[in-house]
Amino acid sequence: RMDQALLLVRNELPAQGLRLAALSGACHQCLDQFLAFIPPSNGTLRNPGTTAVMVDTQHPLTLLLNSSLGDGELCKIQYHFGEFGNYSLVVKTLSTSTKTVSCELVINEGPINSYLPILFAFLVYMGILAILIVGHLLMKIGPVRSWVYKKLNPRETDRLINSELGSPNTTDSISSDPTPRLWSTASRQRLRSLDTFRGLSLIIMVFVNYGGGKYWFFKHESWNGKLYFPSVLFSRFVFIMGTSISLSLSSMLKWGSSKQKVLWKILWRSFLLILLGIIVVNPNYCLGPLSWDNLRIPGVLQRLGFTYLVVAALELLFTRAGPESATLETPCPALQDILPYWPQWIFILILEVIWLCLTFLLPVPGCPRGYLGPGGIGDFGSYPNCTGGAAGYIDRLLLGEKHMYQHPSSSVIYQTTMPYDPEGILGTINTIFMAFLGLQAGKIILFYKDHHKQIMSRFVIWSIVMGIISAILTKCSKEEGFIPINKNLWSISYVTTMSCFAFILLLLIYYLVDVKRLWSGAPFFYPGMNSILVYIGHEVFENYFPFKWKMQDSQSHAEHLTQNLTATTLWVIISYLLYKRKIFWKI
């Protein structure tokens, strides 16, 4: 199967059987896992004891061979097997006098290069991009452009010229998305970089949710450390949501909306997000009424809804209407986008203190205080039922085990048996912190409006500060820091690390799209304009044609990658068509 290789163990030792165990390189402080017992040889080389086992190819493995006679460890081999490879492990005695045992790993059939489909897909998309760029350059040639427009509907000519790769007009923007127009009262133009940032994160999230070609690096990591693609996507979405909150609330208040009316919109939008989230993560509603017995309560949209409620209400409470809010004088000009909102920072710091106290001081039955591990076979099997420590305990206590995610990513490598929800209650505190940092990016854009160098320099400073905090919290280590980077827990170090990258990414997109206008933001701009529709749509229609079909070989990365890329591309096309028809779904 995918991510597996065949290992044939040949035991040529005449008097003793062998116990084969394995330990994954991705499993921190884990118990070795028994794979197979290999019977002894019958005394001749022609009839060795043989056993075939499947081994994992996603991460390096340590193979441990022990004698059934209790003579201790005979061999220890570290090797990274290749996918669909065929290997033999030959165990024999080199010298009968010294009884020296030799373990030799032989490649019977080489593994396949499972990454070739990714290379091919990359070349295809680069070819499509090259064609589009050439077409765009040709359209700048007057005779060519005139000929093309003549072939089109004459009534559409002016509209196409004016809207080609452009933003919706003022009326459409107001009806489609609450993100404000920043640059001036006259232009009231959207920041395309924000929609591009949102769309980029969303499209990669859709691709990953559809399977990511079944490649291991497009899956969630088991616990601490390595940041695979899924780990950075949700956090970016939260970050840009915070940025949009700052800009949209400032715009609505500036154009005359009362705080009571804005608060009602915040409450209604949060309610709809949470409601839609509960429906999306419980797909069995199509089989009948939802059953409370096994209804999963947390989820991505639920967390987004609650985070939006807290951060938007916090911003609404302290924001000021009018252009003067962006020019407040402070004792320290370098902190003019922070000091006027010191009550917000105190509130966020209080939330973080609550998170720290609950995480490290809350007594959890059967678990050490402050435990941040995965449980299962981790920590040498000492705390098998302590997955997530206080975070998991709070969810099980308040929500109940049946209302949580039943198949956490830790169950694969760490073989955990306890349900654990990565969108649980305690982690929501740090999600609020992440959105608040995005809110800070929005404040920077408002305070330094039209001053691109100041905006970009502030983004760099914030990125450096967040990176330094991450380095301190983690000690630049995967497992040995004070608070390791952990997406399942949404640890503080995870938030500071992701915000460090988010500030840099926003800086790059802002520079290319809104400052130098070297890039229109396409194609990511279009799904960014219809983010809720694309996210909910890809979840609801995940198992329907043309987003999914019966494959000839379910163990082929190439087929899975083709299907997942096709489905993702379809959502980009759908969002583009909706954009051209000025159809935007907001809640």
Residue 43 is predicted with a pLDDT of 63
Residue 284 is predicted with a pLDDT of 63
Among 220, 403, 452, 538, which one carries the catalytic annotation? 220
Q: Is the separation of the CB atoms in 247 and 317 below 8 Å?
A: no
- 290 secondary structure, DSSP code: P
Q: Is the separation of the CB atoms in 242 and 436 below 8 Å?
A: yes
Helix or strand holding residue 56 (H, E)? strand 49-56
Residues 330-366, buried b or exposed e (16+ Cβ, 10 A)?
eeeeeebbbebbeebeebbeebbeebeebbeebebee
Would you tell me how many other CB atoms lie within 10 Å of the CB of residue 281? 18
Question: Which sign does the torsion angle of CA 439, 443, 445, 446 carry?
Answer: positive
Residues in the chain, overall count: 587
Residue 146 is predicted with a pLDDT of 81
Give which of 410, 383, 380 is closest to 222, Cα–Cα. 410
Determine the Cα–Cα distance for residues 311 and 238; give it in Å rounded to an integer: 11
Gyration radius (Cα) of the chain, Å: 28
Determine the Cα–Cα distance for residues 420 and 401; give it in Å rounded to an integer: 8
Determine the Cα–Cα distance for residues 413 and 401; give it in Å rounded to an integer: 21
The backbone torsions φ and ψ at residue 555, rounded to the nearest 5 degrees and listed phi first, read -105, 20
Residue 279 is predicted with a pLDDT of 86
Determine the Cα–Cα distance for residues 300 and 535; give it in Å rounded to an integer: 10
Residue 221 is predicted with a pLDDT of 84
Overall pTM surpassing 0.85 (yes/no): yes
Q: Is 136 a catalytic residue?
A: no
Fold category of 4-109 in CATH? Immunoglobulin-like (2.60.40)
Per residue of the chain (587 residues), give pLDDT as tens: 888 999 999 888 877 788 899 999 889 889 889 999 988 887 666 678 889 999 999 999 999 988 877 667 888 999 999 999 999 999 887 766 657 788 889 999 999 998 999 999 999 999 998 998 888 888 888 887 787 777 765 555 444 444 443 334 333 333 334 333 333 333 345 789 999 999 999 999 999 999 999 998 888 888 887 677 777 888 999 999 999 999 999 888 888 888 899 999 999 999 999 999 988 888 765 555 566 778 889 999 999 999 999 999 999 988 765 544 444 556 676 677 788 888 999 999 999 999 999 999 999 999 999 999 999 999 999 999 999 999 999 999 999 998 999 889 888 899 999 999 999 999 999 999 999 999 999 999 988 888 899 999 999 999 999 999 999 999 998 888 899 999 999 999 999 999 999 999 999 999 999 999 989 898 999 999 999 999 999 998 988 899 999 988 888 999 999 999 999 999 999 999 999 999 988 87
Helix/strand/coil (H/E/C) assignment for every residue in 212-227: HHHCHHHCCCCCECCC
Give which of 259, 290, 288, 293 is closest to 275, Cα–Cα. 290
Q: Which residues of 273-359 form beta strands (DSSP E)?
A: none
CA 540 to each of CA 276, 277, 545: distance values in angstroms, whole numbers, following the listed order: 11, 11, 12
Range(s) within the chain of domains with CATH label 2.60.40 = 4-109
- 402 secondary structure, DSSP code: G
Burial of residue 264 (number of CB atoms within 10 Å: 0-12, 13-18, 19+) = exposed
Distance of CA 67 to the CA centre of its chain: 44
